[in-house]
Amino acid sequence: MNKLLVVVVVAVMSMVCGAGANAQAAPQQENNPHVISSQDLDLLRKDIRSQKKQLIAANLKLTDAEATKFWPVYDQYTAELVKLNDKKFGVIQNYADNWGTMTDEQASLFLRQWLDVDTAITQLRQKYVPIVSQVLNGRKTATFFQLDRRISMMIDLQLSSQMPLVQAQE
């Protein structure tokens, strides 16, 4: 169980890290309006969502009856999460587009937007705890949100670590 989690997370991190490595070199290229192309980002995100579902399925042991009730809730949660992640990746893309010429005001706006998305994601999780609790017992509900959070934090860590610091543009 843990070995599969490690293997999939390493694969996801390799993809994210590879996309992020381009982000550090790209701001110096004047012909590249986006550090990571929207198409590449969309493909990366679809792959991550697919792997995330596989990780959760492998680590959240559900009966057939639980699975029948849980997966539609998961899909609904994921659809709402995708909308928030669209905003997050928009903020990151905007940051990348402006890195190197970012003003104090743009830096402050970036920070506010980034924190607003983080807050919205936390609120979404809080919204779904009672919904998931209606289809799973407390331990399985907690396990689902642990897995969801772990995967999200690992992806966020990789993305954040690949973004050059604002102050480094000077």
pLDDT per position as a tens digit, 143-156: 999 999 998 888 88
Residue 39 burial (C-beta neighbours within 10 Å; 0-12, 13-18, 19+):
exposed
- pLDDT tens track for 28-44: 444 444 455 566 556 56
Question: Taking the complete model, does pTM exceed 0.85, yes or no?
Answer: no
State the pLDDT confidence band at 165, using cuts at 50, 70 and 90.
confident
Higher-pLDDT residue of 58, 14? 58
Query: Among the listed ranges 16-30, 55-69, 74-88, which one has the minimum average pLDDT value?
Result: 16-30
Query: Are the C-beta atoms of residues 150 and 2 closer than 8 Å to each other?
Result: no
Q: What is the DSSP string of 1-27?
A: -HHHHHHHHHHHHHHHHHHHHHHHHGG
